[in-house]
Amino acid sequence: MIYAVIVAAALLAGAAILALIRAEKGPSMLDRTVAFDVFTTTLVAAVALEAAWSRRTDTLVLLVVLSLVGFVGSVTISRFAAIEPEDAARVRTREEVEAERLAERAAEEAAVEAEQARREALRAEAARAAEEAAQASDSSEEERP
Amino acid sequence: MSLHPRRRRTKLQWGAIFLLAAVWILLWGDVSWANLLGGLAVGILVTILLPLPPIDFHGRIRPGALLYMLGHFVWDLAVASVHVAALALNFRRKPRGAVVGVQLRNHSDLYLTITAELSTLTPGSLVVEAHRLTGMLYLHVLDIDSYGGAQKVREDTLALEERVLRAFASDAELLEAGLTVRPVLTRIKNGVNGKRGADEPEVTP
Amino acid sequence: MTLDVWLDIVAGTFLVAGAFLSFIAGVGIVHFPDLLARMHAGTKPQVLGMLFMLVGLAVRLRSWSVAGLLLLVILFQMLTAPVGAHMVARAGYRTGKVHAEDLEFDELTEDTERHDGPAPGPTSNRT
C-alpha cells in the first residue's frame, strides 16, 4: 500500500505542477480557468489519496463540497469573459509595472510642463498684443492732430 | 414570477423532494427513520423556498435501456480517456481539431441536455454550442483524423441520442424522432423486452 | 494472503491508475496546442481518474456509508464537469479565442455565416 500511495502522490504532484505551468503560461483567461479546473480536481484526488492512506473519513466532506462547487468558478469567469487583446493576457512583472508607472509619470509631467509653457506663451502673446495695441493707439493719437 | 403563485405553491414537486431526500440520506451515510423524515422535510422546504419550473418530462423510464445507456457510457468514457491519453503522450504530432454540427432528431430540452452532457464526457467530443430551437449540437472533436471524419461524429452522436431516447422518452416521442418503438438493439431485447411486452401494447408506426 | 491484503492491493491499483490519469490530464493541458484541445484533456482523463481514485478509496475504507457518499461525489462531478467545460468552450468560441487555423473545418462558423440571422454563433444570440 505504501508504494502505491507514494507513486500516486508523485503522479498527482506532477499533475498539479503541470496545471500550474499552464496557468502561468496562459495565454488567455480561459486557458487559466481550465488549468485551475484540473488543479481543483487534482486536489480532490489528493484528499481522496490521503483519506485512503490514513483510513480517515472526516475529510470526505471536502470531496463533496469541492466536486459540487468546483465548476462555479469556471462558469463565472466564462460568463464574464470578454474579448481581450492577445498581448494583454499576461501578468506583468514588477519591473514592467514600474517602467510603465515611470513612463506615465513622465508623460504627466511633460503634459504639465507643456501646459505651463502654453499658458506662458499665451500670456506673453496677450502682453505683446496689449503692448502693440497701446503703441498703435499711441501712434494713432500722435497722428490724429 | 409566475402568474399563479398560489397554485404553484400548493403543488409539491414530489420527484425533486424524493431525490433531495435520497441525497440527504447519502450525505448522512445511513438509512434511518430520522434521516428519511429529515430528508423529506429538507426536500419540501427547499422546493417551496427555492422553486424551480418543473421539468417538461412526458416520457417514461425504461430500466433496461437506462442500464444499457449507462453501461455504454462508462465504456465510452474509458475509450475516450485512453484515446485522449494516447494523444497527450504522443509528442510527435499535434492533434487537429474540428467543429462538427449535428442535427438531433428530438426537440425536447431535457433530452438535448442529457445528450449534450453525455457527449461532452464521451469519445473525443466537446459541446461548443447547443441551439435548442433547431436542436443542433456543435461538437468540437479533438483529433478529427484519428476519430474517423465528420460523418462518424454524426453517427456516434445520433446513436448516443437514440440510447438516451430509448432510456427516457415516451413511445410517441420515439415515433416523432423517427425511431421504431420496439427496440432493435438485441442486447435490450434479451434483457427487458420480454418482460415488458405483457403490460405494454405494441405500437406500430 | 488474507482478504484484507488483496483488497488493499486492488485499492492501491485503482489509486495509482487514477493518479496516472490525472497526470495525463496535466500533460495534455500543457502539450495540446489550442484552448479547445486543452479542455478535452481537462474533462476526460480527469473524470475517469477521479472515478478510479474514489473507487480505490471506497475499496480501501470498506464501508457502505462511505461508498454512498463517494457515489454522490462521482455523480456531482459528472454533472458539473461538462457544464463548466461547455461554458468555457462557448465563451472561448464567442470571444474569439478559437482560431480558424487550429481547426480542420468549422461548421458552426459556416452555419452562422449562412444564416446571418438568429442562428447560433460567436456573435449572435448573446444574452
3-state secondary structure (DSSP) of residue B38? helix
Taking the C-alpha atoms of residue C86 and residue C79, their distance in angstroms, rounded to an integer, is 12
C48 vs A: CB within 8 A: no
Pair A67, A100 in one domain = no
Q: Which positions in chain C touch B117 (Cβ < 8 Å)?
A: 79, 82-83
Residues A86, A104 within the same domain = no
- What are the residues facing B138 on neighbouring strands? B101, B129
Statement to judge: residues A109 and A82 lie in one domain: no
pLDDT of residue B201: 43
Q: What integer pLDDT is reported at residue A10 of this predicted model? A: 92
Residues A70 and A134 in one domain: no
Least Cα distance to B94 among A31, A11, A28, C41 occurs for: C41
Domain end residue (candidates: A91, A113, A135): A91
Q: Are residues A76 and A112 in the same domain?
A: no
A42/A110 same-domain check: no
Average pLDDT, stretch A5-12? 90
Chains that touch B (3 or more CB pairs under 8 A): C
User: CB–CB of B99 and C105 under 8 A?
Assistant: yes
Local mean pLDDT, 10-residue blocks, chain C (127 residues): 83 90 87 80 77 88 83 85 82 73 67 54 39
Number of domains in chain A: 2
Query: Grid coordinates standing for A2?
Result: 505504501
Tell me the pLDDT tens digit for each residue of A74-117. 888 887 776 655 555 555 677 778 888 888 888 888 988 998 99
Same domain, A56 and A108: no
C68 touches chain A (CB under 8 A): no
Structural domain range at position A43? 1-91
CB contact under 8 A, C70 and A60: yes
Count other C-beta atoms under 10 Å from residue C26's C-beta. Answer: 31
Residue C54 near residue A43 (C-beta atoms within 8 A): no
Rounded average pLDDT per 10-residue block, chain B, 205 residues? 50 80 83 87 86 72 85 86 83 79 80 85 77 80 78 84 83 73 50 42 43
Which of B150-188 are b and which e, b meaning 16 or more Cβ less than 10 Å from the residue's Cβ? beebbebbbebbbbbbbbbbebebbeebebeebbebeeb
Residue from C92, C127, C93, C97 nearest C112 by CA: C93
Do A85 and A99 fall within a single domain? no
The x, y and z cell numbers of residue C98, run together, are: 478559437
- Identify whether residues A83 and A98 lie together within a single domain: no
Nearest CA in chain A to C6: A1
Q: What is the pLDDT of residue B196?
A: 41
Neighbours of A136 (CB within 10 A): 10
Are the beta carbons of C29 and C42 closer than 8 angstroms? Answer: yes
Q: Are A19 and A82 part of one and the same domain?
A: yes
R_g (Cα) of chain A, nearest Å: 34
Residue-level pLDDT at B187:
45
Kindly provide the ipTM of the predicted complex, given to two decimals. 0.77
Strand partners, C106: B99
Closest CA relative to residue B140, chosen from A42, A26, A27, C106 = C106
The conformation of residue B177, written as its DSSP 8-state character, comes to T
Same domain? A84 vs A101: no
Nearest CA in chain A to C90: A78
Supply the pLDDT for residue C126. 37
CB contact under 8 A, B121 and C93: no
A27/C35 Cα distance (integer angstroms): 9
Task: Please state whether B40 falls in left (phi above 0), alpha (psi between -120 and 50) or beta.
Answer: alpha
| Contacts (Cβ under 8 Å, ≥6 apart) of A104 | none
Residue C125: predicted pLDDT: 37
Say how many residues make up chain C: 127
Interface of C with A in 83-112 (CB under 8 A): 83-84, 87-88, 90-92, 95-97
Asked if the Cβ–Cβ distance from B84 to C41 is below 8 Å, we say yes
The pLDDT-based confidence of A13 (bands split at 50, 70, 90) is very high
Select from C40, C86, C107 the Cβ nearest to the Cβ of B101. C107
> Min CA distance, B197 vs chain C (Å)?
32
Task: Quote the pLDDT of residue C74.
Answer: 86
Sheet with B97-103: list strands edge to edge.
B125-131, B136-141, B97-103, C103-106
Are A99 and A53 found together in one domain? Answer: no
Neighbours of A20 (CB within 10 A): 16
* Residues shown for chain A: 145
User: Cα separation of C50 and A32, whole Å?
Assistant: 21
**Sequence spans of domains, chain B:** 5-49, 63-193
